[in-house]
Amino acid sequence: MERKRLIIPLLAALSLCSSAGMAAPLVGAAPEGASQALVEAMDAAEHSPEDYAAMTALARQARAEGHLELCLDAWAEAERISGGNFETAAGQVEPALAHGDHRLARRAASEAVALAPDNAAAHLLMAEVWYQAPPAVPRALSHAKWENALATAAELRPDDVAVQCHLGWARLAVGDRLGARRAFVNAYDGGAPCASEGLAETEAAWSSTGGVYTSVLAYPTDANLGSGASLAATGSASYGDLVTVEILGRKSHLNTFDDRGFDAFDLSQSELWGRARLSHRGHGAELLLGTGTLTGDTLQNASAIGGRAWFTRGVTLWGEAARSTYTDGVNTQAAVGVSIPLATHLRFDAGLSRTELRATPGMGAESSGPHLSALLALTATYSRLTLSGGVRLGEEVRPIRLMEPGFWNLDGSIGSSAFVRAAVEVQEGARIYAGYDLVAEENSGLATPWGHVVSIGLEKTIGGRLP
């Protein structure tokens, strides 16, 4: 086929701020395999460079034949001719996405929304842009924008059952199971075939999860602490992803040595923890209660109460506080932090915690703190594998880790630590965990004050809707 030539302005991409006289012509050629219709459309556009209809017709014909660059050039030229309008903005979104130019698609969709904020189609285009966000865009952000655009479109077009279905899936993606359910019900009531799958997906159901974890711990350079192990079992029940109640029991053991290096008493610790959690749309709160019996050179009872709340808007902000009471003192702690999605598969967590022990006079403990400790962690998720690693910098005294509750019942404070974790979903609902913690004993006087904890675990979820 004869190759045709077409004048395409070089500055088309800048057309919104250019005038007709500013465009520099670029001579382009018809793409290989162009149909007669496309050649004629190019002829018409070349003959009437000021004719908007000719340029949009060329854009559409090029898109129909899969010539995305030509299509986008023609839309840009139409934008230049017209000074930019809703049609040129809207027209560029789909071919830009197909061409992999997400930045252009987002700019065009934003423009369409700005020009016609009351037009549902504009918001649907914006929704599509965020749905097709590239991996570099954090999923929490893209899903929130996707859901937001669809919610606006649904408001503007309440009878459109297809929009309701899309909205249902978007809400599910942002953790709004109740809202998703409402959207699917609306779609179902409107007779939409697309609603059935969503209704089944959002049908609230109880699920139960059981898990066992074991750890081995060792303080090889500490003359008084030896090695030990712990075994924990958890059970939880969840209603959808809205309500979770969990119970955890742990038995730990650590042998000790006296100053001459002979076996001394064994540290033994029994713990029972209960947790209740409410969550919705990335926001939530939980209450944690714990009790324990700590046997060593003396017998101690311990109890703890703590709470944690989080709020998500692009990033997740969280705060927590806990109070643990021992026979020899009362420990308080508070922490705030942020969880920032860096990309689809990557998350950064940072937090700052304050711990303080107020000793009960005459019980052998010494008051300590307040101490500050900073948490920095990265978590990467890919398919069924989750890897995380981080450090805690600073000093802590008897912390209660609300995410992984436990009594860290050491006489002294603990210093900086580092950890790595891995979790893999080996089959639907079944996960294996592995972790390693390196913990420094603060003020121990040891040249290498490190304690090592290696953990593995297995969890299985039964029933409900699996993620």
Partner 1 sequence: MNNTTRFACVIGLILSLGASAALAADPLSDRLQRSYELEGEGSYAAALAQLEGVRAEGDGAYVLLLRQGWLSYLAGSHADAVHAYRGAISQAPGAVEPLLGLTLPLMASKRWSEAVNACDAVLAVAPGHYLALSRRALSLYSQGRFSQAAIAYAALVQHYPSDVDMLAGLGWARLKEGRSGEARDAFSRALRYAPNHALAQEGLNAAW
CA separation (Å) from 42 to 26, 74, 166? 14, 9, 37
Question: What is the separation, in whole angstroms, between the first and last Cα of the chain?
Answer: 53
360 binds partner 1 (CB under 8 A): no
Please return the burial class of 189, using the count of CB atoms within 10 Å of its CB with bins 0-12, 13-18 and 19+. Answer: exposed
Q: What does the alpha-carbon distance between residue 105 and residue 75 come to, in Å, rounded to a whole number?
A: 12
69 binds partner 1 (CB under 8 A): no
Beta-carbon contacts of residue 403 (< 8 Å; ≥ 6 apart): none
Angle at 262 between CA 259 and CA 267, to 5 degrees: 85
Q: How far is the CB of 75 from partner 1 (least distance, A)?
A: 11
Which helix H or strand E contains 125, and what residues bound it? helix 120-131
Query: Could you tell me which residues are beta bridge partners of residue 394?
Result: 373
Best CA proximity match to 459, nearest among 201, 229, 248: 248
CA separation (Å) from 167 to 145, 152, 388? 12, 10, 32
Q: Site for partner 1 (CB under 8 A): which residue of 25, 83, 100, 158?
A: 83
Q: How far is the CB of 56 from partner 1 (least distance, A)?
A: 8
112 binds partner 1 (CB under 8 A): yes
Beta-carbon contacts of residue 21 (< 8 Å; ≥ 6 apart): none
Q: How far is the CB of 69 from partner 1 (least distance, A)?
A: 21
Q: How far is the CB of 78 from partner 1 (least distance, A)?
A: 6
Segment contacting partner 1 by CB under 8 A, of 117-125, 198-206, 252-260, 276-284: 117-125
Segment contacting partner 1 by CB under 8 A, of 52-60, 345-353, 357-365, 443-451: 52-60
Q: Site for partner 1 (CB under 8 A): which residue of 25, 64, 66, 118?
A: 118
* Choice between 115 and 438, CB closer to partner 1: 115
Q: For the segment 370-409, give every residue that binds partner 1 (CB under 8 A).
A: none
Q: What SS3 class is residue 183?
A: helix
Q: Site for partner 1 (CB under 8 A): which residue of 9, 23, 38, 56?
A: 56
Please return the burial class of 309, using the count of CB atoms within 10 Å of its CB with bins 0-12, 13-18 and 19+. Answer: middle
235 binds partner 1 (CB under 8 A): no
Site residue total, partner 1 (CB under 8 A): 24
Task: Kindly write out the interface string for residues 12-51 of this chain, putting x where it contacts partner 1 by CB under 8 A and - elsewhere.
Answer: --------x---------------------------x-xx
* Choice between 95 and 351, CB closer to partner 1: 95
Segment contacting partner 1 by CB under 8 A, of 111-119, 146-154, 183-191, 443-451: 111-119
154 binds partner 1 (CB under 8 A): no
348 binds partner 1 (CB under 8 A): no
115 binds partner 1 (CB under 8 A): yes
Beta-carbon contacts of residue 92 (< 8 Å; ≥ 6 apart): 72, 75, 76, 79, 104, 105, 108
Are 400 and 304 spatial neighbours (Cβ–Cβ below 8 Å)? yes
* Choice between 112 and 217, CB closer to partner 1: 112
Give residues in contact with partner 1 (CB under 8 A). Answer: 20, 48, 50-54, 56, 78, 81-83, 85-88, 90, 112, 115-116, 118-119, 121-122
